[in-house]
C-alpha cells in the first residue's frame, strides 16, 4: 500500500519566530502536556509559571505555525502512526485546528499545526482585560460543540479535551487542538510526572469512570463530561482546578457557577441560567449512557442562546458598542481637557498679555515693541515700612492680598493692563499692549480715582482702627514693552515715562493723585475731569515740573436736556471795577490784561458759546460784549476775555452777566462780589440754559 508522506517536514525548514510571543498574549498555551519537553527545547518554549507552558512558534512556508515538541529517544514511522496521520489529515472543519505536518527526526520530533494568535481558551477566559458578554460565551460553547460533533461523526474521540486544548484564532473562533495522533504523541518518561500539575489537571476533566483507571477506553461520553467542565469555566471565568492538597476522588466535580447573582449589567448576566446549569448537570450524569450527544448539546445551546450571530458579527457588534462607548469617553475627556485648558489660559493670561502669551505658546519670539502714547499709574502705601515693622509677615501678606484683590476687581472695569506689584507698589498701564488712541489717559485717571476712593473705606485686617492711605501718580508718554527672561518671564515696560510716573507717585500726597502736565493735557482734551494745579515741584532726574491734582470727574452736558445743573466754573475777568471804558487810541497802547487759566468743570466749548456780556443796569446800552476764547476743535474753554463795565457802576455788589449760545438761547452768569481795588473780577456760572 502506498502511503502519502508529503506531511513530513524537515525540521531545518522551520525558521524560528523572532517575535517574543510568550508574554504578549497572542500565544497558544499548553497546560501540562509539554512539561517534560519544555526544558529540552532551547529558544522556543518560554515558561510563564509552573501552571502554564507556552508553545513554541515558527515560520514555515512564510506562515506562522505552532510547533509542539515530542520527547522521544527514538521514532519509528510505523503503520499505526501512518493511519493516525491520515485520519487527522482527512478532518477539515472550521472548529478544528488544522494539522500541517510533523517532524520525525530525533531529537526534533514534533507536530506542526495551525497557529491561533489569541491563545488558549483558558487564557482568554482568565484575562480580565478581555470583555466577554454572554453572546461571546455562547459562541465559544457552540464552537467547541460543533468541532466535537464533527469529530465524533468521524469516529474520532479526543480523550484530553480541556480549555487549554481549545485555541482561539484571530477571528475569535474557538478551534480544538491536540486531537488524534495518540501513538505519535506518546512521550517517553511521561509517567514520571504523573503526580504533578499535569496529572491533576487531567483528573479534573476526566469523568469518574476514567479517574481510577486512566487506561479505560475513551468514549464519546468521556468528551461530553470534559465539555461540561469547560462550560463551567466559560460561565465563571475562573480556574476549576483545586488547590494542590485537595483530594480528587471519583465523586468530586467542580462546583457549579452561581449565575443568579454577581453580574450587574445585561451583557454580563446569563440570559437563561437554569437551562445552562441543567445542561452542565446532564453532561455530568453519573451514567455515561445518559449523557447527551453533541448533536443534542448543539440543539440545546441554539435554543437557549438569544443571539444567533456569528463570532465575526458578534465582534463587529462589540466593536460598534465599544466605539460608541469610546466616543462618549473621548467627548467627556475632551470636555475636561477644554475646561483645564481654559483654567490654564486664564492663569497664563493673568501673567502675560494674551497676544504675547499666544506667541510664546506657539514657539515664536516675543519681540519688544514701542508704544508712542500710553499712560502709567503708580501707587504705594503711605507708612508701609513702619506698618510692616510692627506686623507679622502673615499679617503683611494678608493685607497686601486683600488690597490687591480689591484693586484687581476694580481695574477689570477699565481698558488697562496690570504690569506688576512689587511689595506695596502697584503698577498699571493703559494703551499697552492694546492701543486705544488718547483714551488711555482717561482710563488711567478714572481707574486711579476709583482706587483712591476704595482706599478711604478699606479696613486693614489686623488694624481695624487704622485707615489705609495710598499715594498715586500718573504720567503719559512713550514706552517700549517686551518679555524679559525665560524662567518666569515678565512683561516689562521701559523708558523715561516709567520713571516719571514713579516720581509722580513718590512726590505725591496721601489719598491724592498727582499728574504730570503731559497727562493733564490729554485729560483736558478728553474733558470731564476736575483738575487743580499744584504748582512747580522739584522732581528727581527731571528738574522742576508743573504738576496737578486730579480731584474728580464731572458729568458731560447732554445736548437734549432742558435743565442741566453743572458744577461751579471759575472764569477770570480782567478789568478793574473802577476802570472807565478807554478811548480807542488809548486802548491801542494798553497792554493786554493778564488772564489766569482755570479748569472748566462742565462741557462749555467755543463752538457752543458766541459771546458774554455784563448785565449791570442796562445790558443793551452799558456793557461791552467780548467773545469767548477757546480751542477751535470744540474742546473745553480755558479762559474768557470779558467786556468792560461802565465807570459809574457801584463798587462791590453782585453783577449779572449773560452768554449768548449759537441757537439764540441766553445763559445767565452770576458774578461774585468784586472789590474796587482788584484788577480782575471773578464770575461764577451758577446756572445753565434758562
Nearest CA-CA partner of 179 in 199, 150, 201: 150
Which of 553, 570, 598 is a domain's end point? Answer: 553
Q: Are residues 279 and 259 in the same domain?
A: yes
Does some domain include residue 333? no
Q: Are residues 68 and 155 in the same domain?
A: yes
Q: Whole-angstrom Cα distance, residue 179 to residue 227?
A: 14
Q: Whole-angstrom Cα distance, residue 1 to residue 199?
A: 39
Output the DSSP codes for 626-665. Answer: B-EE--TTS-B--EE-PPPPPTTPPSSS--EEEEE-TTS-
Q: Are residues 490 and 603 in the same domain?
A: no
Q: Are residues 549 and 605 in the same domain?
A: no
Output the DSSP codes for 24-89. Answer: TS-S-EESSTTTTTGGGSTTT-EEEETTEEEPEEEEETTEEEEEEE---S-----HHHHHHHHHHH
Which of 522, 553, 584 is a domain's end point? Answer: 553
Q: Are residues 549 and 606 in the same domain?
A: no
Q: Whole-angstrom Cα distance, residue 410 to residue 173?
A: 70
Output the DSSP codes for 119-134. Answer: EEHHHHHH-TTS---H
Q: Whole-angstrom Cα distance, residue 77 to residue 56?
A: 24
Report residue 402 as a C-alpha cell. Answer: 486683600
Does some domain include residue 577? yes
Does some domain include residue 574? yes
Give the per-residue SS3 of 443-511.
HHHHHHHHHHHHHHHCEECCEEEEECCEEEEEEEEEEEEEEECCCCCEEEEECHHHHHHHHHHHCCCCC
> Residue 659 phi/psi, 5° resolution?
-120, 140
Exposure string (b/e) for 117-147, b if CB count within 10 Å is 16 or more?
bbbbbbbbbbeeeeebbbbbbbbbbbbbbbb
Q: Whole-angstrom Cα distance, residue 631 to residue 62?
A: 97
Which of 526, 553, 580 is a domain's end point? Answer: 553
Q: Are residues 586 and 500 in the same domain?
A: no
Tell me the HSE value of 163 on the side-chain side, using a 13 A CA sphere.
26
First to last CA, the chain: 137
pLDDT for res 534:
92
Does some domain include residue 497? yes
The residues, any chain, with a CB within 8 Å of residue 373's CB and separated by 6 or more, are: 431, 437, 438, 440, 476, 477, 478
Cα distances (Å, whole numbers) of residue 111 to 16, 261, 421:
15, 44, 81
Does some domain include residue 336? no
Indicate which CATH number applies to the domain containing 296.
1.10.510.10
Indicate which CATH number applies to the domain containing 515.
3.30.70.1230
Does some domain include residue 126? yes
Q: Are residues 292 and 386 in the same domain?
A: no
Nearest CA-CA partner of 192 in 308, 289, 71, 313: 71
Number of domains in the chain: 3
The residues with which 371 forms a beta bridge, in sequence order, are 479
Nearest CA-CA partner of 80 in 157, 218, 185, 188: 185
Positions of the chain with pLDDT lower than 70, given as ranges: 1-2, 18-55, 188-198, 214-215, 243-247, 261-267, 310-311, 555-690
Q: In terms of C-beta density within 10 A (0-12 exposed, 13-18 middle, 19 or more buried), how is residue 112 classed?
A: buried
Report residue 112 as a C-alpha cell. Answer: 506542526
The residues with which 571 forms a beta bridge, in sequence order, are 683
Nearest CA-CA partner of 177 in 216, 151, 196: 151
pLDDT for res 335:
92
Q: Which residue in this structure is represented by grid cell 459562541? A: 139
Q: Are residues 568 and 676 in the same domain?
A: yes
Nearest CA-CA partner of 670 in 660, 689, 657: 657
What is Dmax (Cα atoms) for the chain?
A: 160
> Residue 638 phi/psi, 5° resolution?
-100, -20
Does some domain include residue 627? yes
Does some domain include residue 325? no
pTM score of the predicted model: 0.50
> Residue 67 phi/psi, 5° resolution?
-115, 115
Nearest CA-CA partner of 211 in 237, 250, 160: 250
Question: Can you give the residue range of the structural domain that contains 288?
Answer: 11-308
Q: Are residues 593 and 476 in the same domain?
A: no
Q: Are residues 544 and 593 in the same domain?
A: no
CB 461 within 8 A of CB 395: yes
Is there a cis peptide before residue 617, judged by omega within 30 degrees of 0? Answer: no
Q: Are residues 198 and 115 in the same domain?
A: yes
Report residue 413 as a C-alpha cell. Answer: 472695569
pLDDT for res 427:
94
The residues, any chain, with a CB within 8 Å of residue 65's CB and separated by 6 or more, are: 14, 57, 58, 59, 100, 112, 113, 114, 115
Is there a cis peptide before residue 107, judged by omega within 30 degrees of 0? Answer: yes
Q: Whole-angstrom Cα distance, residue 176 to residue 159?
A: 12
> Residue 379 phi/psi, 5° resolution?
-150, 155
Q: Are residues 276 and 300 in the same domain?
A: yes
Amino acid at each position: 500500500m502506498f502511503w502519502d508522506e508529503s506531511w513530513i517536514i524537515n525540521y531545518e525548514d522551520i525558521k524560528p519566530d523572532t517575535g517574543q510571543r510568550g508574554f504578549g498574549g497572542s500565544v497558544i498555551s499548553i497546560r501540562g502536556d509539554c512539561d517534560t519537553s519544555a526544558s529540552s527545547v532551547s529558544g522556543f518554549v518560554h515558561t510563564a509559571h509552573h501552571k502554564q507552558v507556552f508553545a513554541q512558534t515558527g515560520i514555515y512556508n512564510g506562515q506562522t505555525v505552532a510547533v509542539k515538541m515530542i520527547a522521544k529517544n527514538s521514532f519509528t514511522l510505523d503503520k499505526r502512526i501512518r493511519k493516525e496521520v491520515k485520519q487527522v489529515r482527512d478532518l477539515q472543519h472550521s472548529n478544528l485546528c488544522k494539522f500541517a505536518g510533523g517532524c520525525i527526526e530525533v531529537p526534533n520530533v514534533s507536530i506542526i499545526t495551525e497557529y491561533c494568535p489569541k491563545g488558549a481558551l483558558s487564557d482568554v477566559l482568565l484575562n480580565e482585560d478581555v470583555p466577554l458578554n454572554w453572546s461571546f460565551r455562547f459562541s465559544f460553547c457552540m464552537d467547541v460543540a460543533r468541532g466535537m460533533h464533527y469529530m465524533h461523526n468521524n469516529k474520532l474521540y479526543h480523550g484530553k479535551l480541556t480549555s487549554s486544548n481549545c485555541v482561539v484564532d484571530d477571528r475569535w473562533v474557538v478551534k480544538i487542538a491536540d486531537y488524534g495522533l495518540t501513538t505519535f504523541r506518546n512521550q517517553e518518561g511521561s509517567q514520571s510526572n504523573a503526580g504533578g500539575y499535569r496529572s491533576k489537571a487531567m483528573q479534573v476533566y476526566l469523568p469518574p469512570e476514567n479517574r481510577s483507571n486512566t487506561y479505560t477506553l475513551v468514549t464519546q461520553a468521556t468528551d461530553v463530561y470534559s465539555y461540561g467542565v469547560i462550560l463551567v469555566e466559560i460561565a465563571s471565568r475562573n480556574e476549576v482546578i483545586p488547590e494542590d492538597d485537595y483530594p480528587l476522588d471519583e465523586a468530586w466535580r467542580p462546583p457549579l457557577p452561581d449565575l443568579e447573582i454577581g453580574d450587574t449589567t445585561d451583557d454580563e448576566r446569563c440570559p437563561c441560567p437554569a437551562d445552562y446549569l441543567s445542561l452542565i448537570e446532564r453532561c455530568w450524569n453519573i451514567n455515561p449512557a445518559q449523557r447527551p450527544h453533541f448533536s443534542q448539546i448543539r440543539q440545546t445551546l441554539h435554543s437557549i442562546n438569544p443571539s444567533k450571530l456569528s463570532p465575526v458579527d458578534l465582534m463587529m457588534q462589540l466593536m460598534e458598542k465599544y466605539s460608541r462607548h469610546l466616543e462618549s469617553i473621548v467627548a467627556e475627556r475632551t470636555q475636561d481637557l477644554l475646561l483645564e485648558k481654559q483654567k490654564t489660559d486664564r492663569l497664563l493670561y493673568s501673567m502675560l498679555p494674551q497676544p504675547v502669551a499666544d506667541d510664546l505658546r506657539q514657539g515664536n519670539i516675543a519681540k519688544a515693541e514701542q508704544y508712542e502714547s500710553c499712560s502709567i499709574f503708580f501707587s504705594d502705601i503711605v507708612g508701609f515700612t513702619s506698618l510692616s515693622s510692627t506686623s507679622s509677615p502673615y499679617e503683611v501678606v494678608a493685607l497686601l492680598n486683600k488690597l490687591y484683590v480689591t484693586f484687581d476687581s476694580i481695574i477689570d472695569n477699565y481698558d488697562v493692563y496690570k504690569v506688576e506689584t512689587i511689595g506695596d507698589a502697584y503698577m498699571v498701564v493703559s494703551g499697552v499692549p492694546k492701543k486705544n488712541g488718547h483714551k488711555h489717559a482717561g482710563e488711567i485717571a478714572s481707574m486711579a480715582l476709583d482706587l483712591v476712593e476704595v482706599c478711604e473705606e478699606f479696613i486693614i485686617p489686623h488694624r481695624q482702627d487704622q485707615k489705609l492711605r495710598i499715594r498715586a501718580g500718573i504720567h503719559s508718554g512713550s514706552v517700549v514693552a517686551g518679555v524679559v527672561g525665560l524662567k518666569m518671564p515678565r512683561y516689562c515696560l521701559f523708558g523715561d515715562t516709567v520713571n516719571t510716573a514713579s516720581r509722580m507717585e513718590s512726590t505725591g500726597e496721601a489719598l491724592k493723585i498727582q499728574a504730570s502736565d503731559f497727562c493733564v493735557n490729554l485729560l483736558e482734551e478728553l474733558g470731564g475731569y476736575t483738575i487743580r494745579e499744584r504748582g512747580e515741584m522739584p522732581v528727581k532726574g527731571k528738574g522742576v515740573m508743573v504738576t496737578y491734582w486730579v480731584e474728580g470727574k464731572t458729568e458731560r452736558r447732554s445736548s437734549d436736556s432742558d435743565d442741566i445743573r453743572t458744577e461751579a466754573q471759575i472764569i477770570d475777568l480782567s478789568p478793574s471795577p473802577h476802570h472807565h471804558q478807554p478811548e480807542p487810541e488809548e486802548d491801542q497802547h494798553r497792554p493786554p490784561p493778564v488772564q489766569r487759566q482755570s479748569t472748566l468743570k462742565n462741557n462749555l466749548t467755543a463752538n457752543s458759546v458766541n459771546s458774554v456780556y455784563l448785565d449791570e443796569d442796562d445790558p443793551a446800552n452799558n456793557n461791552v460784549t467780548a467773545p469767548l476764547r477757546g480751542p477751535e476743535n470744540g474742546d473745553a474753554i480755558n479762559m474768557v476775555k470779558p467786556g468792560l463795565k461802565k465807570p459809574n457802576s457801584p463798587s462791590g455788589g453782585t453783577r449779572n452777566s449773560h452768554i449768548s449760545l449759537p441757537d439764540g438761547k441766553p445763559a445767565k452768569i452770576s458774578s461774585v462780589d468784586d472789590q474796587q481795588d482788584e484788577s480782575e473780577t471773578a464770575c461764577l456760572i451758577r446756572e445753565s440754559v434758562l
